Every structure is written in C-alpha cells, then in structure tokens.
A and B are shown apart, each in its own frame.
Chain A
C-alpha cells in the first residue's frame, strides 16, 4: 500500500517569497491534516479536511497561509509571503476517518527554510 506522498522534499526561500506544498494521501482516507513541526518540537496542527471540507483551520495564519483539497483527495498548502518564523517541516497526514481513535499516517514532510 502506498503511503502519504509529499513534495517537494525541501524548499529554501527568501522572506516575502511564496511556496506551495503538495500532498497525496493514502487512497480511501477521507481525512487529511497539515501539521507544522518546528525544529526539535512536536507537530502543531494547522488545518484538517474531511473530504473537501475544512473542519478546523483555526490555527492557520489566514493572512498568509491557505490550504485546499478541492476533490477530497490531493491537497495543497500555500504560504503567500514567507517569514523566517515559518522555517519548519510541514507534515501531511491522513486517516481513514476523522475519529481521534484512528491512526494518523504521516508523509516524510517538506523541510522549509526561509532566509
């Protein structure tokens, strides 16, 4: 079974530049999550979807971050104007459904460095 696929693997930007991250979840998983993991910290939830609907984006900095999952499969997370504080690994995860009892399957992440 294919796992969660993310691209690109790495991104290096200057402050003010834009970047997009792409995620392909495990087939059949209706729930998709985007987490931000600063160096030496645990993952912090940014946004999650059930199918194409946003369930919770309260932790997403809405002035610069956006996330979509238009067909309920793949998802894109975009940062419009990156800041040095955005330097982190961005992890995508999927689960069979949105119950807290379900296992999260993570991708390998995109490591973002903002200079």
Chain B
C-alpha cells in the first residue's frame, strides 16, 4: 500500500519568490508521479508528471524525482498570486489505474 507524505502542510510566500514543495512515497516500485493543483472550490487539475529519475521543466515549474531516496518535489520560480492553491502529489505503480494522493500543501502567494 502506497503511503504518500507531503510537506509542508501550508506555505505563505511573497510574490516573486521561489517555492519548493516536497513529497515522499513509501513504495519503491512506484513508476508514475504526478503533481495536481486544486484552486479553492475547483476540481484538481494535472500540472506535471514524470516517469523516470531526473528533472523536468515546464515554464516556471520544475519537478524532480529521486526514486532511490523516495523523494519527489515541485519548484515554482517567480511565484504568482494565481499559483495560490492546494498542491497534491500522487504516485502510482504496479497497480494499474491506482494513484495514491498525498494530503496536499496549501500554497498562498501574497502580492
């Protein structure tokens, strides 16, 4: 059973800051890793995914995966107030269709 832990639980940063969100997972057999973003009262929406060790960048967002240390992270460059949301990491492995979500990090970006 996959256990996904996120830290910190909440984060308040000023506009323009670099923000780092962390996720650890328990199942070393996990192969698929996702970040979803959920604005208040809205549906979670896929942000980025990575399926092998390393780094992936899309615009202001970068994700890192280190399977050896069971660590997955999201970094936001030049944080904007519109980035304020609940960020959910999720991992999936051998069980098809089964993604396990963490409890989320609530990010607030102050203008």
Contacts and interface: CB of A to CB of B under 8 A. Distances in A.
Interface string A53-80: 0011000000000000000000000000
Given A42-B103, A43-B88, A103 B46 contact: yes
A101 B51 contact: yes
Interface stretch (B12-20, B55-63, B92-100): B92-100
B103 A106 contact: no
A56 B88 contact: no
B59 to A, nearest CB: 18
Contacts of B101: 35, 42-44
Contacts, number: 67
A2 interface: no
Contacts of A108: 41-43
Interface size class of A (residues with CB under 8 A): 20 to 34
Interface residues of B, number: 28
B43 A109 contact: yes
Given A42-B88, A42-B101, A42-B104, A100 B93 contact: yes
A101 B90 CA distance: 11
B96 A107 contact: no
A31 interface: yes
A98 B96 contact: yes
A40 B95 CA distance: 26
Interface string B1-40: 0001010000000000000000000000001100010000
Nearest to A50: B97
Interface string B64-108: 000000000000000000000000101011011111111110100
Interface of A: 3-4, 31, 33, 35, 40-45, 48, 50, 55-56, 91, 95, 98-101, 103-109
Interface of B: 4, 6, 31-32, 36, 41-46, 49, 51, 88, 90, 92-93, 95-104, 106
